[in-house]
Structure 1
């Protein structure tokens, strides 16, 4: 009986030790994982802005899943002037963004279901202030700060992309 108690005590101690090591490994891994930027594949089709200056193309990543939209460009340290991220929502709705954990200054281009630019606002790195347009949006295009002005993207400009075309058939 004493031998059985010793065996059980040893097994229990080993189990607690294994659980403690596992918990420590999770806690030390989490901050590293949380600090990594999300890398979505570049969409094969460019997003095109039809401006008064002509058509301007952007290589974009499409964030159309809740987790992708939540992460966005957080922790991203660089973004080329011809790159951006298009956030696609299931329906036209009030949207709000913040810049927590985002080191890049950004233009946030709020877009209606038909692809028409509704509003453009600037995002300040690491700010937790809510950035939201006055009206509901279906899409948000994030670009490097100043890119919208440089390329002629303004309220009323039309954006073209397959995700926008698909939404036009389903305005939500």
Structure 2
């Protein structure tokens, strides 16, 4: 697990993009939610996590961003400079969705996990609901411990 996350962090291309450019060149990972596949960009470093999906004007329905933290803790997200309405799934080490939070664009309201988590998966708002994914659902992928 640690080697996988280190490889992701080291394999990232550091871009010279300005502060108002969307980060589009992060490594990707395949995740599953039942029969649904997710192509997720991985934000594993502090800089990648702090930029997240800011300035992104659109995102395909099957894509998202997985935020990876070093250890489980209470995670809170906001949407300053984020143009898309998103839903954050706060995810435990084993892939269990702990809670979901719909987030409005360009707001500073905090949306937090209800218990310590290591992962947060952001998808277009409504993606989880349309697929019946709710707290207790398990996501799959090589990043989650079994």
Normalised TM-score (structure 2): 0.84
1:125 equivalent to 2:105? Answer yes
Q: What's the counterpart of residue 46 of structure 1?
A: 30
Are the aligned partners of 1:59 and 1:83 in contact in 2 as well (CA < 8 Å)? Answer: yes
Name the count of aligned residue pairs. 131
Deviation of 1:97 after TM superposition, in Å, equals 0.5
Runs of 4+ in 1 over 4 A off after TM superposition: none
Q: What's the counterpart of residue 74 of structure 2?
A: 94
CA root-mean-square deviation: 1.6
Q: What's the counterpart of residue 18 of structure 2?
A: 33
More helix by share: 1
Equivalent position SS for 1:110: strand
Q: 1:138 aligns with which of 94, 115, 118?
A: 118
Are the aligned partners of 1:98 and 1:127 in contact in 2 as well (CA < 8 Å)? Answer: yes
Query: Which entry has the higher C-alpha Rg, 1 or 2?
Result: 1
CA distance in 2, matches of 1:63, 1:40: 10
Normalised TM-score (structure 1): 0.72
Are the aligned partners of 2:26 and 2:43 in contact in 1 as well (CA < 8 Å)? Answer: no
More strand by share: 2
